[in-house]
Amino acid sequence: MNEEQSSVILNTSSRFSPPQGVKLSYGTAGFRADASLLQSTVYRVGILAALRSLKTKSVIGVMITASHNQVSDNGVKIADPSGGMLSQHWEPFADALANATSPHQLVKLINEFVEKENIPFDGIRPAEVLLGRDTRPSGDDLLEAARQGVTSIIGAVALDMGILTTPQLHWMVRARNKGLKASEQDYFEQLSSSFRYLLDLIPSERSKLGGANEKLVVDGANGVGGVKLKALEKLLSGLVIEVRNSSEDGGVLNDGVGADYVQKEKVVPHGFGSKDAGIRCASLDGDADRLVYFSVQPESNGTIDLVDGDKILSLFSLFIREQLSILNEKEDIKNLHQARLGVVQTAYANGASTGYLKQLGLEVELTPTGVKYLHEKAAEFDIGIYFEANGHGTVLFSEYFTGWLEARSNELSSGSKGSEAEKAALRLLAVSKLINQAVGDALSGLLLVEVILQHMEWSIHRWNDLYHDLPSRQLKVKVADRTAVVTANAETVVVSPPGLQEAINEETAKYPHGRSFVRPSGTEDVVRVYAEASTQETADSLANSVAKLVDRFLG
């Protein structure tokens, strides 16, 4: 950087003093903390985003959100050129920027990184950054801090895209970098038109009035997703949605509502009760990147039948496998590409879901915990599907396979859907446009669930009966040094300390359908324990036994 650029950063950064005694780390969720601590960090992320834009010669995104956290928290994350998460290679630089103690140290760090990464300041292509925020009251001020960070890089442009869901911002970044239309209205139109197209491709002998056609009731977590879903519904036909707990309804964000609450507590969110028994319900999280379904049990005092991310993954896998089977069985498709379909999970996926997917003959891969690992592995397939039980996930289509599907679509005569194989190709192409290719998206995921249920003429109860989860339990064990636990094989095997894995194996073997693993937390000095078994009592017992082993080996 030249002296003028360094001077601008020195002057602007002096307005944003970092909080004393606070060390922040950029993880899968970006930076998150109490909103009062974040102005300096968000300003510095704005700088990072502008530098990332210069380095990649692409549009970058900055999203102000803390997702399912309480309303007093906030956070910031980067959307890379693909619409995905910030390159892991840049995460240490993000940490260093956030924790620099003075403007001079900040400038020194930036200068060193710019030289190391050979980031151009030639003015040929100025940095361009899209800014978005959710509905949190702190979002306005933090977005302004991000804007000032971006524009402290001379020539950089920051575009305020307004209040958005997190997936909308990621979608916009991806679209802009592909030279496509990228407004919020373009997002709504792509989703709604793809949904309608898939409805039109439902086999004619099916009534389209099956178990999935009654009203869907959606819990919006008192966040941004409810408002956006109401706007999207105006463009839809063939689906009736009632939205509760929208941000405009006056409730507190993520307080007794939302996908995280429903999935973990397995009870109805605020505003739902016995009157909703048997109805198909869904819940978004605060920034609408997670989705779970549920039905209220009759006379249950608020308990639910949860249909979580594992079940969503299974539904998507079943439908896509069916379309690929139709393609592979028919001989009237020219130049057929034998697509490789893969399913990606973490060790936290319920063992019953993994068993069901393998029974379908699907290729199932495990990765370490974290969306960045799941997304990266899914991208290795022609079609890669990943979901966590918490409801975050998506379906990725390779550019090669999407191109093949596009070519098939272009070959069809105008107004004709062609043979069954051609219809299958058209369905897959429509899925690739409906489901968000950048990141997990509750709104696009919800529409794909709904059209598949109509295609199969399934109720939520038929869907939930695909398999039955094994009872499980998660525990945390406080330890002096979590780094003493080192794992391998997607965190399913302990390699250090010696002997701990053998002890876990011996304990697990005592329980029917027993499975257990431990892993160090990424955020606090605890070791997380997960256990499954044939009954809740035995799952609890196994988890407690393994927790005692962790305490003994690390005590």
DSSP label at residue 256: S
Kind of pairing, strands 128-133 and 241-246?
A: unpaired
Q: Residue 388 annotated as binding?
A: yes
Angle at 205 between CA 200 and CA 209, to 5 degrees: 70
Query: Pick from 246, 233, 241: which is nearest to 217 by CA?
Result: 241
Name the phi and psi angles at 66, rounded to 5. Answer: -125, 25
Place of tokens 């009251």: 137
Query: Pick from 98, 223, 93, 238: which is nearest to 167 by CA?
Result: 223
Name the phi and psi angles at 24, rounded to 5. Answer: -110, 150
Query: Pick from 490, 486, 493, 477: which is nearest to 529 by CA?
Result: 477
Determine the residue type at 128: E
Q: Residue 289 annotated as binding?
A: yes
Q: Residue 389 annotated as binding?
A: yes
CA 527 to chain centre: 24
Q: Residue 551 annotated as binding?
A: no
Query: Pick from 537, 423, 527: which is nearest to 475 by CA?
Result: 527
CA 249 to chain centre: 25
Q: In what order do the strands lie in the sheet with 304-307?
A: 241-246, 216-223, 281-284, 291-296, 304-307
Q: Residue 498 annotated as binding?
A: no
Q: Residue 340 annotated as binding?
A: no
Q: Residue 285 annotated as binding?
A: yes
Q: Residue 390 annotated as binding?
A: yes
Sign of the alpha-carbon torsion through 485, 490, 492, 496? negative
From the candidates 53, 67, 246, 247, give the one annotated as an active-site residue: 67
Q: Residue 287 annotated as binding?
A: yes
Angle at 398 between CA 393 and CA 402, to 5 degrees: 110
Count of H-run helices and E-run strands, the chain:
18, 19
Tokens of 227: 């408002």
How far is the C-alpha of 219 from the C-alpha of 263, rounded, in Å?
13
DSSP label at residue 90: G
- Our CA dihedral for 271, 273, 277, 279, rounded to 10 degrees, sits at 0
7 CB-near residues (< 8 Å, 6+ apart): none
State yes or no: is 283 an active-site residue. no
Q: In what order do the strands lie in the sheet with 515-520?
A: 472-478, 526-532, 515-520
Taking 3-state DSSP, the helix, strand and coil percentages for the chain, each rounded to the nearest 5, stand at 45, 20, 35
340 exposed, middle or buried (CB, 10 Å; 0-12, 13-18, 19+)?
middle
* CB 224 within 8 Å of CB 164: yes
Binding-site residues sit at 67, 285, 287, 289, 388-390, 519-523, 528
Q: Give the residue numbers annotated as catalytic, written as ranges.
A: 67
Binding-site residues for Mg(2+) sit at 67, 285, 287, 289
